[in-house]
Structure 1
Amino acid sequence: MNTVSNESTIDDSLKSTVTLFGYGGLIPFLYFALCAWFPNLNLVGGDPLFIFRMYSTVILSFLAGSLWVFGLLAGQYQQQVKVRSRSLIWSAILLSILAWGNIFIVGKAALFVGGLLFLVVWQIEQKTELTKCYPTWYTDLRAKLSMSVAALHIIIWLTVS
């Protein structure tokens, strides 16, 4: 792990752990989406759409924090990859503000905005060239997770009143 390349920056021994936690993070999204459609499944109590939105906000904040850290560390990789550090830091702040501000939007509209924000995070990673620092398996995983979460937001938005 001495140079930056798609296959050497992140230890491959982390692949199974990262994949497990990545897909594990989908479980609350799936569960509360199902609870929104089938209220009898809700074992937690409370409004499943509100809990879905709050979980979404927390995960978006986590992703924004990751962008912040990569923005700070990107200078270490500038010789091999031109990562836009300043853009990552600004994006992290803006994304976090939008994610938490989304709580104050009417429920159904917030679902649509939340879905878009997950797509925005994915695009930020693409446009700032951060994905060039990821191994291929992680880039693929992030795309699958981002698309799945965004799709759940949009599907709920389309189906609930």
Structure 2
Amino acid sequence: MISGLGQHGFGKKALALFNSMKEKGLKPDAVTFLSVISACNYSGLVDEGLALYRSMDSFGLSATPQHHCCVVDLLAKAGRVEEAYEFIQGLGEEGDFFAIWGSLLASCKTQGKQELAKLVTSKLLDIEKQYGRAGYNVLLSQVLAAEADFPE
């Protein structure tokens, strides 16, 4: 229900359901946290989503790359792209996942953050070399092509 509410823009209702669940003594698991943070993302409830992410350890849960990716998307969609970059940097090796950096690169493209996109691209290319994968080259080409559209 939390996920469904979130996907349809009812982030506050998803949060209320999550809080009701906790009040009734039900312990949220990692999937529940992912759903409620995602609901915050869909509804622009950035501070609430960040607070939930930070509270996971109080429930004995460790954040997964999916949680990290959701937080990056949450921050970036709210225009806090640089903060999302700092968040990933703070993850260290835990942040070395395609989806996390790819989400940030997509937001850089959307918000015209060309210099940051170059840093993110460099990291993505390093990860691709390390794991022998490719995949963000098309997005990278779009970011670089869009650079001509943004005055320096």
| Same fold (TM > 0.5) | no
Relative to the length of structure 2, the TM-score reads: 0.29
